[in-house]
Amino acid sequence: MNSLTVYLFVALLIFCIGMFGLLQRRSLIGMIISIELMLNAAAINFMAFNRFLAPDPSVGQIMVLFIMGIAAAEAAIALSLILALFRKLRSINIEHARDLKG
Amino acid sequence: MNPAAPSDFVLWLTLAVMWLPFISFLVIFFITRTRLALSLAVSVSCASISLLAAWYLLLGLPATHPPVEFKLLWMAGAEARISYGFLLDPLSRLMLCIVASISFLVQVYSLGYMAGDEGMAKYYSFLSLFAWSMISLVVAPGLLQLYVFWELVGLSSYLLIGFWHHKFSASEAGKKAFVMTRLGDLGFFLGIIVLLLHLGDLSILKLNAQAAAQLSAGLVTASAVLIFMGVVGKSAQFPLLTWLPDAMEGPTPVSALLHSATMVAAGVYLVSRLFPFYAASPDALAVVLAIGTITMLLSSTMAMVARDIKQVWAFSTVSQLGFMLMGLGAGSYFAGVFHLTTHASFKALLFLCSGVFIHHFGSNDMYEIAKNGGRRLKVPMITITIAGAALAGVFPAAGFFSKESIMGALAELPNPGWLAAGLAGAAMTAYYTFRLLFIVWFPRKIETPQHQENGHGDHAAHSSFGYWAMGVPLIILAGFALVLGFFGDWLLNFIHWGRPPEFFHHVWLAPVSLLLVGCGIGLAWLEFGRRKAAQAGFLSRLPRVEALFANRWYMDAFYRRMVDYVVYGFFSRLFTLNDRRVVDGGVDGVCRATVGGGWLLSFLQSGLLQYNLFTMVLIIALVGLYFLVMH
């Protein structure tokens, strides 16, 4: 087992944990944390490939920087949505937000 | 005699006769319908040019002119060639002239009769269509063209009978005419197919000249009888005669056109057109003779009890058509054609006269017309009397001569029964005609003043132009009804190309039939004419018989039954079932399946995106697994 595979397995594990959390959690905060996990798993993948396979190491790093940027933006938007929903429903449990008509 | 190609002049003249009415139909129907005066001008001028050309074709060409045939190839198959064109021989020239004249006179008359009707322009376009289809039928050189226009004649009479379609009875009558004639046309079409399959050519000249030699006797009889079924429907003969009396629901000028020159005359014309073909089969002629006789007797009895003035004439048309077919069936081409010609003049006249009364008094009932002073209208009274005399066969009028020639042909037959039936029919004809005339001439009650007021008020509403538009055709037709009879010998020469077969004049026949006609008139006088007469026919003392006659021998009731049993009881039920189960059931099924499917699918929409995401992940995982295993 070489070290690339180790990284990939770690990333897979984190991704699966994120996916599981996204599917299982009913709280919006928990779901956002899970999404962050999944994004980071993808970032680990990029970095691992970058480190072991890529001829030009800067490409993967750029992608990871993008991912971090997107994650930050996503977190900001998601949190503002959650706040809006909380003001409306007094809850952040998505089972209470099933009906389209509010 | 071999047909000749037409000279340019004759070609254009015939095309003008044939196509001008159609052009007038198109122009009025599609362009000038909203402008009444223009439409009337178009229609009447086309009709008058057509009329002049038709008269020239009748009289301008020498009588012994060989038949002129003009053909364009219309359809060609491996074995059959069907062409479109025209055939001018004495018969079609004569008939062309009759059709063009009557339709012109009817158009002129309608200027007065239909004045003020909101659909008048449409009415004129239909009249033109009617004239076009009948004229094209008359000159058709082949059976298929004849059949096409035969159906168009049926269509245009349907349109005109049901012209006042807001009246329920009128639209019903139109439908009845259309459906009943269609029944007969089925046979006609089968006959055409039989001929086409066995001859490969539907040319009338060839059919007349060669069919007997090329086909077996049974086949000739079969196809002749099949074609005769179409005649039975069109000319309202025995089993299918009840549509014609109902067809008077249309405007009266239409009845005049329909009864004299166009619709019903087409049937008799077809038999005379194919006369040599029919003559090749004695059995077919016997069928024609028998059907003609039955029809003639039945409808005469119906006319004896009818109260409606137009209905009397309708029944008399049926019986006169029966007479024509008797003449043809007895083997005399001339007798049938002669009676067709004279009948066209006096029957158109009878209807047009009745139209004046109906227009004036607003009633179809003859007693009503008499009571309101029908006899004060001098022109129609005199002309209707002339026409009635012609119909009854009183001496100097046209009907006498043509009926004599039919009786002469019947007297030639070995079985005297036919002649007896013919003479009985002539007596009945005289009786019912003069019954009507006496009732109108000698009303029992003097009209009340307010009716008079009414009548005058009506009268003042119509212009003197309308009065003369209606009066002049009557006078012209009365002239024809008086003198046509004397042209019998000319006609005999004409339609046989100057070589008439020997025609027997039975010296004893004229007095006998005149005596019988006199008896009929005398009986009518005793019962309706003289001062003390009760104005009730001898039939009113036999209520059973009267009811039988008045109900048209229960033929309508029988058809109603048949329709109830067969159509409503069987076909309608089947179609209703089909409608309910298959069509409605299908639609309902689709509907239910959609609702059910939606109900099932709605479980997928829980409102929680996580389930959707889970399904997606699962599927992608499975796809991934699949590729992992496969490679």
Residue in B606, B607, B613 nearest the CB of A23: B613
Give residues with Cβ within 8 angstroms of B534, minimum separation 6: B527
- Work out whether the CA dihedral B431, B435, B438, B440 comes out positive or negative: negative
Q: How far apart are CA B432 and CA B272, in angstroms?
A: 28
Which among B24, B107, B12, B21 is positioned nearest to B56, based on CA atoms?
B12
Q: How confident is the model at residue A80 (pLDDT cuts 50, 70, 90)?
A: very high
- Asked if A95 has any chain B CB less than 8 Å from its own CB, the reply is yes
- Work out whether the CA dihedral A13, A17, A22, A23 comes out positive or negative: positive
Nearest CA in chain A to B616: A23
CB contact under 8 A, B606 and A98: yes
Token readout for B363 is 């009633």
Which among B17, B15, B41, B13 is positioned nearest to B27, based on CA atoms?
B41
Residue B530: count of CB within 10 angstroms of its CB: 10
Question: Following DSSP, what letter does each residue of B325-384 receive, concatenated?
Answer: HHHHHTT-HHHHHHHHHHHHHHHHHHHHHHHHHHHHHS--BHHHHHHTTGGG-HHHHHHH
Q: What's the pLDDT score for residue B404?
A: 86
If you ran DSSP here, which 8-state letter would residue B163 be given? S
CB contact under 8 A, B608 and A19: no
- Would you tell me which residues 16-45 of chain A have a C-beta closer than 8 angstroms to some C-beta of chain B? 19, 22-23
Total CB pairs under 8 A between chain A and B = 16
Best of B608, B612, B619, B628 to substitute, by most chain A Cβ atoms within 10 angstroms, is: B608
Give A2's Cβ-side CA count (13 Å radius).
6
Q: How far apart are CA B89 and CA B488, in angstroms?
A: 18
- Asked if B617 has any chain A CB less than 8 Å from its own CB, the reply is yes
CB contact under 8 A, A22 and B610: yes
CB contact under 8 A, A23 and B606: no
Best of A22, A24, A31 to substitute, by most chain B Cβ atoms within 10 angstroms, is: A22
Q: What's the pLDDT score for residue B530?
A: 76
Token readout for B385 is 């009397």
- Asked if A56 has any chain B CB less than 8 Å from its own CB, the reply is no
* ipTM score assigned to the predicted complex: 0.83
If you ran DSSP here, which 8-state letter would residue B89 be given? -
Which among B134, B139, B155 is positioned nearest to B84, based on CA atoms?
B139
- Asked if B620 has any chain A CB less than 8 Å from its own CB, the reply is no
- Asked if A78 has any chain B CB less than 8 Å from its own CB, the reply is no
Q: How far apart are CA B408 and CA B406, in angstroms?
A: 5
For chain B, residues with pLDDT lower than 70 are 1-2, 63-64, 445-463, 497-500, 502-505
Best of A17, A23, A31 to substitute, by most chain B Cβ atoms within 10 angstroms, is: A23
- All residues of chain B having their beta carbon less than 8 Å from the beta carbon of residue A19 are 617
**Distance set, CA B388 to CA B173, B225, B375 (Å):** 26, 33, 15
Nearest CA in chain B to A16: B617
Q: What's the pLDDT score for residue B564?
A: 82
Q: Are the C-beta atoms of residues B189 and B202 closer than 8 Å to each other? A: no
If you ran DSSP here, which 8-state letter would residue A92 be given? -
